[in-house]
Copies of this chain bind each other. A is one copy, B any other.
């Protein structure tokens, strides 16, 4: 786990706050954060590293002490994605908890190839500019994905370069 995650925040609190937030949202919207959905969300929040569907599957199977099948996980993921509680990282087929599920936003992900941590940047100025450039092409954008691979500040600091 990257250094700043140990250093800068209490990750247990981070998880529980994410779960509380999800509960609030579901309550507000009249949708249900069922046991499975909650478990999947919690598993995803275990790290700031992204989880693959099959990581989650294994973890869930362990927790339930019986084999869980893929559709169970994918349904939960679909629910969480649809409701903006998690994001999908297209370039790595993996899922990560959303920082700010209560407010709609555009995200840019910084993916560290050394420690695998992922940082989410919100509503960067360039989004508007990009949307405008795309609009000028006559293209009607529905979704913009920006993912940056590289080395995070902590890893750079520790002399990593890959």
Contact = CB atoms under 8 A, between A and B. Distances in A.
Nearest to A143: B149
A108 B146 CA distance: 10
A143 B148 contact: yes
Contacts of A148: 130, 134, 139, 141, 143-145
* Chain copies in complex: 2
Nearest to A157: B138
Contacts of A91: 90, 145
A113 B142 contact: yes
Interface residues of A, number: 35
Contacts of A58: none
Interface of A: 90-91, 108, 110, 112-113, 119, 121, 124-126, 129-130, 133-134, 137-153, 156-157, 161
Given A124-B130, A145-B147, 8 more contacts: A90-B90, A126-B130, A139-B156, A140-B151, A140-B156, A141-B150, A144-B148, A144-B149
**5 closest cross-chain pairs (CB), A and B:** A138-B153, A141-B150, A90-B91, A142-B150, A140-B151
